[in-house]
Structure 1
């Protein structure tokens, strides 16, 4: 059985105000096993404090502490969302020992329940193996409605590695999804670094008809090309599942990750991509993964993860701009 850990309201703390001005005032903490609240619009947060998949992939452990670090940085941010849309934090779902698969089954069912109740899932990692469970749920939800799902991953890596001894890991989630849904796998990866992906992974990506933009082309000066690629990909799908792997950012901005790189993309470019995806009207859910607070500096990576999350939610559910 996976571990269920409710989040203390004390994690969501910050300045006081008479009305809701900050995120910590808006978030209502629930138990992981609590059911969705009605069928109206809402936001459902779930932490995935798991680094078992990172360990299996020979990464440096520590991402299990990522979800709470993101919450702490998000708590004091200004809250600009429509107050009529409730925000629930359902705590953390972790592993007991190395039982990653049982945890993924639970997460899949949790996400599916939220989607069926019209809530927007925001998942905080934890290893990128989260994407297998998250992707399964969104795929099942879309297929049940006859819709085509597109997966967009901001990442230095394809995460299309094969299983290890028959088990998944942080480098295999999208390979697992491609195996499970071969006819319905539509995947765009932004920020791919050649140094982080051996030739065999490029062959795998081509065989699976994956679309990608390599790091040398993924820059703010090349925005028109990137926007065209996004438009081409998104015009062919009904819904989008967005995954943000923090190791895709340059380590100048994101030192606290499992696999840092000095050659990653910038927050400025990521911000434009996130706005474009949110404005598409097709975004169904998102996750932010691979935060490793043990190696962070002045909470820079945790703040970046929190800002990415807040920006997308503000774009989707914020008050109408003047």
Structure 2
């Protein structure tokens, strides 16, 4: 199967919601403004947002996790549809890349091709997962685009996640291996590996994972080190990390948040981040990147599992993150 056959166009029927009676033109909601991405990219402007789904949780299955994140992109769109519209740029739905069998690697390659195409058109991709195997797929697209322009570019990753996801992919890749896969790719391509993981649950990561992270120069911050009183230290840490980069890739695993706010994930975090703290940290990162004129080349969200969700809390939180990130990038 060719990579392009994994992609399906936008299902605009998902974009439904209330229509307000207030003054027309200033009372829009996302479902009234999001458009299907034109196949010829007509009218698309640099900096417009493109939402791309990664309907896949084969990596979660391989990692012996609880499946259901394949339904995540649809659930996030439905939760986002009714959000009030405050953007001054366009948002396009670029459809989904789908995994309908156990062949994960071709689907990851297909997502990479879609991401690279969106970046070539000057769009800002926000990719909706899907298991965290999305990260290896997203990075493939970033690499195709960035290194074609600048082979010496320094691409950094910031991952908000309870897990380091640095498991050994020797047998096969999974949702637990993406950043190890990226590290190995960087080593083979003689490129630096810059990785910073925020919100790590030390009880959910073995010593072997921490040892490997240390050997690779990975920077991490534990979940209980992400209090408001830690923000000054975190800002300084972010600034030092970001100054060495030319491009930033931001990836968010929904299991970084506490289980009360994000029950719909493969591995809930009882003591994960409070959503207000988590969002503040994400916005702090975006602000620090903007202060350095550091482009955030791509954002993705992983592990939203509607089959395990309660009152759509996880999907609504993921949608709020998309809303806030799209607004912060204006």
Q: Give TM-score, length-normalised by structure 1.
A: 0.93
Q: Which residue of 1 aligns with 2:126?
A: 122
Query: In the alignment, which of 13, 16, 32 is matched to residue 13 of structure 1?
Result: 16
Q: Which residue of 2 aligns with 1:3?
A: 6
Q: 1:263 offset after TM fit, Å?
A: 1.0
Q: 1:40 offset after TM fit, Å?
A: 2.7
Q: Which runs of 5+ in 2 are unaligned?
A: none
Q: 1:273 offset after TM fit, Å?
A: 1.6
Q: Is the 8 A contact 1:36 1:113 kept in 2?
A: no
Q: 1:121 offset after TM fit, Å?
A: 0.4
CA distance in 2, matches of 1:72, 1:3: 22
CA distance in 1, matches of 2:54, 2:41: 18
Q: 1:291 offset after TM fit, Å?
A: 0.5
Q: 1:16 offset after TM fit, Å?
A: 1.8
CA distance in 1, matches of 2:53, 2:40: 16
Q: 1:164 offset after TM fit, Å?
A: 5.4
Change (3 A) 1:35 1:106: farther
CA-to-aligned-CA distance 1:290-310 (integer Å, 9 cap, x gap):
011111111111010001111
Q: Give TM-score, length-normalised by structure 2.
A: 0.90
CA-to-aligned-CA distance 1:102-123 (integer Å, 9 cap, x gap):
1111111111111122100000
Equivalent position SS for 1:105: helix
Q: Is the 8 A contact 1:124 1:287 kept in 2?
A: yes
Q: Is the 8 A contact 1:220 1:268 kept in 2?
A: no
Query: In the alignment, which of 220, 232, 252 is matched to residue 224 of structure 1?
Result: 232
CA-to-aligned-CA distance 1:28-86 (integer Å, 9 cap, x gap):
1248xx3544563311111111010000000001111111100011000011110xx22
CA-to-aligned-CA distance 1:252-309 (integer Å, 9 cap, x gap):
1100001101011111111112212222222221001101111111111101000111
CA distance in 1, matches of 2:40, 2:134: 21
RMSD: 1.6
- Say whether residues 1:134 and 2:138 are aligned partners: yes
Query: In the alignment, which of 204, 212, 218 is matched to residue 204 of structure 1?
Result: 212
Q: Which residue of 2 aligns with 1:320?
A: none
CA distance in 2, matches of 1:221, 1:256: 29
CA distance in 1, matches of 2:283, 2:202: 26
CA-to-aligned-CA distance 1:159-216 (integer Å, 9 cap, x gap):
1001152x21100011000000123210000011111100000011011110010122
Q: Is the 8 A contact 2:6 2:110 kept in 1?
A: no
Q: Is the 8 A contact 1:142 1:148 kept in 2?
A: no
CA distance in 1, matches of 2:207, 2:55: 31
Give the number of equivalent residue pairs: 312
